[in-house]
Structure 1
Amino acid sequence: MVVLSQPALNQFLLLKPCKSTPLFTGIPVVDFTHPDAKNLIVEACRDYGFFKLVNHGVPLELVANLENEALRFFKKSQSEKDRAGPPDPFGYGSKRIGPNGDVGWVEYLLLNTNPEVISPKSLSIFRESPHHFRAVVEKYITAVKNMCYAVLELMAEGLGIAQRNTLSRLLKDEKSDSCFRINHYPPCPEVPALNRNLVGFGEHTDPQIISVLRSNSTSGLQICLADGTWVSVPPDQTSFFINVGDALQVMTNGRFKSVKHRVLADTTKSRLSMIYFGGPALSEKIAPLPSVMVKGEESLYKEFTWWEYKKAAYTSRLADNRLAPFEKSAAD
């Protein structure tokens, strides 16, 4: 076992000691089969930007198959995994998150979900797997996409948008810039008791419209409440967690808030999470939807294309307020 030196370890520690946070019992839970699900979704997105979805309809067999294949990949030797990386941006990555100095106690696979745009490194991951990794990934993503479309359509109804597919069509577009990420957070038994937490993935908001997360039974995910308090999300490996992204915050003119979240690593158990990030086509214009705004309401954001925002987001640090340059000022 490799024991990191203190200087090397410091880059993964939170700057401030983080006391043990009890699991937060107030996470909104939406039953997909509930007759009032559309309004429950809107309420959760307005108050938290985050909710747990149960009775979602995604077969748990698909979830278990993908988890097994992902763990099989991450158990490979480092040299085998490195052949699928570094990410460009797709492929295998370890420790470094993006090009701007962010690090985390994590290794990951980042894949494009558009069948027309699969990177050579993604293909090498699938070719080297003797267990049909690609087929398992594609089945899982198809099921999660369909669930996500239905969530967005209920959301549109709850917002009073006449065209039910206003949001879902952006993800159904054949040029949709969506991606899929599998994060593996190894346990850290070599970390001494420093009264500080090891950062698995630093605090950030997701740039896309919506994120669909599933993780195993290891805790570590935290979200930031409206008052700035960080709370720990109880893990639930049979459910999905839905995050509001930056683009959806803009499209609802701030009614929904893109939730700030982070992951703290565990010293004894590994954590595996699988996230589908639903994004629009690169050329899609993002602005507050007129059908959401009331008469006389002013837009809080400048119009921009998804490519413009994505480029700005991925040249910033994780914790930056990436929407700030796109907010309207009194002079605009």
Structure 2
Amino acid sequence: MAFSTQELHHLHRNHPASYSATTAPPPTPSTQSNCLSISTAADDLSRLLHRLPPTLSLPRRLSPRTISPPLISLSPQNNSNNILSSSSQLGFFQLSNHLIPSQLALSAELESLSLFDLPTDKKQHFFPKNWPLGFDEDDEDDGDGNGMSLCLSAHCPSESTELNLSSLTQFARALEKVGLEIVETISKAGGFDNPLRFEGSSCPWSSLVWVSEGVAGNKPVFNGRFYPYVVALQYQIRCRKYSLLSDSGWVSVSPEVDSVLVTVGDIAQVWSNGKLKKVRGTAVASLGDDNKSRCISISLLVTLPLESTISPILPSAVTVDGDDNDNTSAGAGGVEEVEGGGEDEKEGEKRPAFKLFSFEDYAWRVYHERHLFKDPLDRYRV
């Protein structure tokens, strides 16, 4: 349809913005659709972020959370409920009234410091590497600040007559006695037989003295290698913070002076069929930012002989009416095998949460590999 010149002038005068040469054309359906899509996506993203649980938010601090370990008296009555509760909820606690003299701990520390002051050739001569025994200076320079560590047998720290380690030996045996008492208490309270009860000709446990240097800075790290154990004990000579890796993550603890810090290990967790929490490795002394301070920590590890096997120790199954059900039998290495069951499994029967495995293979793996982000027991879970 053609317009005359007068009609065009009339239209332009009444609607100048609609037909101006410099005005942008109205949005087409495609551009409107793109704008709506972007707006809708932004709204959806905003709603998603608001629905995220608090646990998925970024941490506000990198330092480990601080926990005060429960202080439990090692009385003749063995306060088993508190020990079991702390072992099940945290995996660590501190003991008082343990009867270990503080002067003995100081003498053992001085003897240990003298070992770290030895020249390298003397260290290799007196303490040759015989896995897991001997000095470990951590050849990998990974910037984590891992220091030197020394592993000794609790009953025979050194065969050399040139070294006097009488205080360290006596101190280790005193800690071992407390550790075996703790294992007995946890076993009774947890409802399973104590595998370390001496009933045969061979000793069912092995005790190692683990001496390591403190780590400068506030960053929690593994201090050298670590070794699987049932329980580990550290006497607190002075007020100092420690970092430890529990099942709930890195934790900072400050035990009381003259108490014994007890950590539950991976072997105890398997024995309890996962009921007990554990600590990976031993507690590492933190020196803060003071690089001039010198500190070593002495841990007594109650562990197993290399030829041992590990598996859950399940109590006899109990039927609904409370009668004992004798359908369990001990397998190799103390494993309990439940017969029958299936989908019609009776109430009260328990199934193992871990497979039976070789202690030597497991110990070699956790000692030589750095399991910082993955639990080494995961491969054995049922």
Q: Given residue 309 of structure 2, which amino acid in structure 1 is its aligned partner?
A: K
2:350 aligned to which of 285, 288, 297: 297
Could you tell me which residue of structure 2 aligns to residue 179 of structure 1?
208
Q: Given residue 24 of structure 1, which amino acid in structure 2 is its aligned partner?
A: I
1:143 aligned to which of 170, 174, 198: 174
Q: Is the contact between residue 252 and residue 292 of structure 1 (CA under 8 Å) also seen in structure 2?
A: no
Q: Given residue 314 of structure 2, which amino acid in structure 1 is its aligned partner?
A: P
Alpha-carbon offset, residue 53 of structure 1: 1.0
Judged with a 3 Å threshold, the aligned counterparts in structure 2 of structure 1 residues 201 and 70 are, in CA distance, closer, same or farther, namely same
Q: Is the contact between residue 235 and residue 298 of structure 2 (CA under 8 Å) also seen in structure 1?
A: yes
Q: Is the contact between residue 211 and residue 275 of structure 1 (CA under 8 Å) also seen in structure 2?
A: yes
Counterparts of 2:62 and 2:239, CA distance in 1: 18
Could you tell me which residue of structure 2 aligns to residue 123 of structure 1?
159
2:264 aligned to which of 244, 255, 265: 244
- Are 1:112 and 2:143 an aligned pair? no
Counterparts of 2:75 and 2:203, CA distance in 1: 28
Q: Is the contact between residue 196 and residue 205 of structure 2 (CA under 8 Å) also seen in structure 1?
A: no
Q: Is the contact between residue 108 and residue 182 of structure 1 (CA under 8 Å) also seen in structure 2?
A: yes
- Are 1:316 and 2:369 an aligned pair? yes
Counterparts of 2:378 and 2:199, CA distance in 1: 23
Q: Is the contact between residue 46 and residue 257 of structure 1 (CA under 8 Å) also seen in structure 2?
A: yes
2:84 aligned to which of 29, 42, 63: 42
Structure 2 regions of 5+ residues with no counterpart?
1-58, 319-347
Structure 1 regions of 5+ residues with no counterpart?
1-15
Alpha-carbon offset, residue 60 of structure 1: 2.1
- Relative contact order, higher structure (CA 8 A, sep 6+): 1
Q: Is the contact between residue 176 and residue 280 of structure 1 (CA under 8 Å) also seen in structure 2?
A: yes
Counterparts of 2:226 and 2:121, CA distance in 1: 32
Could you tell me which residue of structure 1 aligns to residue 19 of structure 2?
none
Judged with a 3 Å threshold, the aligned counterparts in structure 2 of structure 1 residues 205 and 244 are, in CA distance, closer, same or farther, namely farther
Deviations 1:27-62 (A, max 9, x none): 122111174611111101000111111111222222
Counterparts of 2:272 and 2:220, CA distance in 1: 35
User: Computing the radius of gyration over CA atoms, which structure comes out larger, 1 or 2?
Assistant: 2
Counterparts of 2:235 and 2:356, CA distance in 1: 32
Deviations 1:141-163 (A, max 9, x none): 221111111111121221234x5
Q: Given residue 279 of structure 2, which amino acid in structure 1 is its aligned partner?
A: V
2:288 aligned to which of 246, 249, 266: 266
1:153 aligned to which of 151, 161, 184: 184
Alpha-carbon offset, residue 114 of structure 1: 5.0
- Are 1:66 and 2:105 an aligned pair? no
Counterparts of 1:283 and 1:256, CA distance in 2: 24
Listed as ranges, the matches of 1:46-57 within 5 Å are 46-57=88-99
Question: TM-score, normalising length from structure 2?
Answer: 0.64
Counterparts of 2:355 and 2:144, CA distance in 1: 31
Number of aligned residues: 289
Listed as ranges, the matches of 1:196-275 within 5 Å are 197=219, 199=221, 201=223, 207-217=228-238, 219-224=240-245, 227-228=248-249, 230-260=250-280, 263=284, 264-268=286-290, 269-275=293-299
Q: Given residue 94 of structure 1, which amino acid in structure 2 is its aligned partner?
A: E
Counterparts of 2:355 and 2:270, CA distance in 1: 9
Judged with a 3 Å threshold, the aligned counterparts in structure 2 of structure 1 residues 54 and 96 are, in CA distance, closer, same or farther, namely farther
Counterparts of 1:170 and 1:20, CA distance in 2: 46
Judged with a 3 Å threshold, the aligned counterparts in structure 2 of structure 1 residues 75 and 283 are, in CA distance, closer, same or farther, namely closer
Listed as ranges, the matches of 1:86-101 within 5 Å are 87-89=129-131, 90-96=133-139
Counterparts of 1:293 and 1:224, CA distance in 2: 34
Counterparts of 2:88 and 2:199, CA distance in 1: 21
